[in-house]
C-alpha cells in the first residue's frame, strides 16, 4: 500500500510511504539568505519535524541526496550534519554540486 501526505502545490507529496519506508520530497531552506550553516540547520530541523510527524526519527534515515550550488560550502554543511546525526547512525549520503537550483534556493 502507498500512503501519500502533505501535498505541495499540486506538484508532489512531501511524504510518500510504501511498505513502512518513508520517501521525502525535496526540502529547501525557508530563508535562502542564510549562510550554509544556517540553511543546513533549517533544512535538517525541517527533516526532523517531518519525520517526527510521521512517527519516525533521524536515526532511521537511510540515504540523503544534497544539492549545493557551491561545493566550497560543504565543510559548513558537514559541521551541522554531525550535530543532527550520531556517528553510528549516519545515513548514506551524496553531496552534489549543481549550477542552479532556482531563484530562491542555495540548495535542495
Q: For helices 74-84 and 36-53, what crossing angle results, to 10°? A: 30
Residues 4-43 pLDDT 10s: 998 888 888 999 999 999 999 889 899 989 999 999 999 9
State whether CATH 3.10.450.630 applies to domain 31-97: no
Share of the chain above pLDDT 90, in %: 78
List pLDDT tens digits, range 34-83: 999 999 999 999 999 999 999 999 999 999 999 999 999 999 999 999 99
Q: What is the pTM of this model?
A: 0.88
- 12, exposed or middle or buried, with CB in 10 Å at 0-12, 13-18, 19+? middle
Cα 6 to Cα 57: distance, rounded to the nearest angstrom: 17
In whole angstroms, give the CA distance from residue 44 to residue 80: 9
Amino acid at each position: 500500500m502507498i500512503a501519500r501526505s502533505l501535498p505541495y502545490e499540486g506538484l508532489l507529496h512531501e511524504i510518500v510511504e510504501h511498505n513502512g519506508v518513508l520517501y521525502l520530497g525535496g526540502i529547501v531552506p525557508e530563508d535562502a539568505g542564510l549562510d550554509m550553516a544556517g540553511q543546513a540547520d533549517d533544512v535538517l530541523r525541517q527533516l526532523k519535524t517531518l519525520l517526527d510527524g510521521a512517527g519516525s526519527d533521524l536515526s532511521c534515515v537511510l540515504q540523503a541526496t544534497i544539492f549545493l550550488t557551491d561545493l566550497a560550502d560543504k565543510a559548513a554543511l558537514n559541521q551541522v550534519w554531525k550535530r543532527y546525526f550520531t556517528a553510528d547512525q549516519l545515513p548514506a549520503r551524496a553531496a552534489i554540486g549543481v549550477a542552479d537550483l532556482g531563484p530562491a534556493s542555495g540548495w535542495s
